[in-house]
Structures are given as C-alpha cells and as structure tokens.
Chains A and B, each alone.
Chain A
C-alpha cells in the first residue's frame, strides 16, 4: 500500500512539475528503506526483532546522531542501508561519555555493527554518509535507512 501510494505521488509530481527530481528522491528513499527492512525481516528466524527504523537524507560527510537506551544482557545489531548514490556509509557507537565503542569496518553502503552492553545505559549511534559515488553532483542528498535490532 505504501509503495503504491509513493508511486502515485511520484506520478502526480512528474505530471505536475515535469521533472524527475522528486521521483528520484522518493525512489532512493524507498531503495534504502527496502534494503534495511529486508535485512531486518530476514533476521527474525534467528531471534532478532526490530525496535525501530529511521530514515535520513544526507549529503557527503554529513551525519545523524541517535540517542539509544540499550539493555544489559540484550544483544544489539545496528543496520544501515544507503541508496546507490552512496559508496560508503559508516555506523559508529559511542557510550554516554562520548567514547567510541565500536564501528563498522566495511567500505560499503550497507554497514552493520553489533554490540552487547554490560550495563543498561544510554548510547549514541552516529550514521555517516561517508562517500558518494564518483560523478554524483556536489551537494546531492542521499537516502540512508537505519535499523535498531535486538535479541
């Protein structure tokens, strides 16, 4: 239903504005969102569940930061998916005092970070749009979806 609604919006916008800007942006967000949802749902048989999925629109080197409460004993996995205009997305987890705890070690647009807190506390998760694909117009915003999962 949501996909159909977005498709309808895209068509309406195209017919009205005669431009592809809106449709590209929506398609990119859908692409990032579909990617992360697929990873989340595929992990359910292994006992993972989702707390939430967030969406953001970031230019190269921009970031978003999320405050998280994480439970001692639970295992957490943070999943990111960038659209195809991104070649590298980074996830970094910090403790409440700003110490970097863990970050993904890949140079791609689908980072994952796992963490098991030893004490229930608040943490910061930073999502970086580290690098856009060569040839992407300067200042272009890319879509990134991020999931907080646990088991």
Chain B
C-alpha cells in the first residue's frame, strides 16, 4: 500500500472517528399530545411529553460541579467553606484498575477546583500534576496534557492570577475533561464525575454536620438520579478487573441511593452515614 493511500485511510478513520464520537441526535419529536405548560408560560417550541423526556434524556450535564455545591452551601446559609475541609490526599494512580484511576483523578479535580483561590502554590501544582498523571493513565491525549503543563508553568512562574485560574479550571473540569474521547473508553467521563461528586458529597456532609443545619441537607445531598447514574455505570457497564475500591464504591453508591431516595427529610443519622460511607471510599484511593 502506498504512503498516500495509507495516509488517506488514516485520515478517513480519524475524521470518521470524530463524527462517530458525537452521539446521534434524537429523532424529531413524535406527535405526542403536548404537555400542559405551567401557568404563565406561553407555548413556543413544541412541547415534549414526559415519556419522550425520560426516554431521550442524556446524562452529560446531570452532575453538579464541586464549585456549584459550594455555591449551594452558601445559599443554604452554611458559612463553612468546602475548600477549608479539603484534605491533602495521596491518591495512588499507578494501579491496574482504570476505573479506580478515573475515580481518583475525579477526586483530585474536585479538590483543585475547590481550593484554587487560596491553596499554596506548591499544593495547587502537586494536585494539577497528579491530575495530569491520571489523565495520561486514562489516555486523555495531548491536548489536556499540554493544557495542564501550560497551567502548571504559569502558576510556577506567577504568570496567572487566581481569579483567572478559577475560570480556567472550570473550563478544564467542566468542559475540556468531559469532552475528551479517552482511549480507555466512554466510562471514563462518568467515573471522573463520580470521583468529583463523591468528594463534594463527603465535604458537604462534613459542612452540614459542623454547622448543625441538618434541615439544609435535603437541598444539598438528595440527588438520587445522580447516584443512580454512577451506580449504573459502575455496575452495568463494568468490565474492568475486580478491585476492592470499586467494590466498596458499588456498596457505597447502593447505600447512598437508598438514603437519597427517601421521601422523608434526611436525618442527622443519614448525614453521618453519607459522610462515613463516602469517606470510606475516598480513604481507599
């Protein structure tokens, strides 16, 4: 085969891969009877039936970011900052099970986003370099690697303000990382999100406990759809080698699903349980 034809094949495969990466669009809405708009909402776009909404909804934007959790905490009147509760963790990312690498990297992403404004330079750099290592393990590609190198260099050279970094790390965690097509498969993104969410839930449960404002817990921690999403990924889409951390994660998510699905308000005991269980997973990483 000539080099020209080989190039043609390679480029064709690459471009086809780019298009193949995008999920297929939903078909045009079926002629369902339109849902009744809430009072005062004039109809404009065709109304979609609940069955269509449920059947076609994608989970890509389902999970709140750790910074969003912090915003909700403040709105709930809890003055504790999650960044003050973030621990310096040594997460082992040199493990065989890549699900575990993704979850661990997600935890680090949450930590760096939450602490970006006030963390000492060396802590920030260490977390970003650990994320960079995790991304390499997951086959995140050169764009994310170069971006992280650039951010680290600018932090080390005092060439970027913390305010600018807030925006850059939001973009990194909320836009760039989720849109990467990882060599290690589609389950990487939800597992990264699961790690970030677990860390956020652990910190929020600590903040709620410290503040004693247990009546705010429902608004901050009752997210059964999020837990189900992660549980489905970990259990149904499995395929990685058995791992004690992932086994613990499954047990924890199963328990969290039960707690967050309660129709009654979360109790102090529930918050304690959420804290202990999320912490137990995080401690194993």
Please list the residues of chain A having a beta carbon within 8 angstroms of any beta carbon in chain B. 1-2, 5, 9, 12-13, 16-17, 22, 25, 37, 41, 44, 49-59, 61-69, 71-74, 90, 92, 94, 97-105, 119-120, 122, 124-126, 128, 130, 141, 148, 150-151
Contacts and interface: CB of A to CB of B under 8 A. Distances in A.
Contacts of B219: 71-73, 119-120
A86 B167 CA distance: 29
Most B C-beta atoms less than 10 A away, residue of A51, A55, A122? A51
Interface in B139-182: 143, 146-147, 166-167, 170-171, 174-175, 178-179
Lowest 8 A-B CB distances belong to which pairs?
A: A98-B50, A73-B75, A71-B72, A90-B45, A67-B57, A100-B37, A72-B219, A124-B53
Interface in B13-52: 14-15, 18-19, 22-23, 25-29, 35-38, 41-50, 52
Contacts of B64: 51, 69, 71
B218 A100 contact: no
A71 B76 CA distance: 10
A67 B143 contact: no
Given A65-B48, A71-B75, A90-B45, A126 B53 contact: yes
Contacts of A104: 44
Contacts, number: 180
B284 to A, nearest CB: 26
A101 B40 CA distance: 9
A87 to B, nearest CB: 14
Nearest to A5: B143
B67 interface: yes
Given A94-B35, A94-B48, A57 B25 contact: yes
Contacts of B14: 9
A8 B170 CA distance: 27
Nearest to B163: A44
B206 interface: no
Interface residues of B, number: 66
B35 A67 contact: no
A101 B38 contact: yes
A66 B60 contact: yes
B254 interface: no
Nearest to A56: B25
Given A9-B14, A71-B64, A120-B222, 7 more contacts: A1-B147, A13-B11, A59-B25, A61-B46, A100-B36, A101-B41, A124-B57
A106 to B, nearest CB: 9
Given A98-B35, A99-B35, A67 B59 contact: yes
Contacts of B25: 56-59, 62-64, 141
A52 B171 CA distance: 8
B220 interface: yes
A56 B26 CA distance: 10
Contact of B28 (A55, A62, A74): A62
Given A51-B174, A99-B37, A100-B35, A63 B29 contact: yes
B130 to A, nearest CB: 22
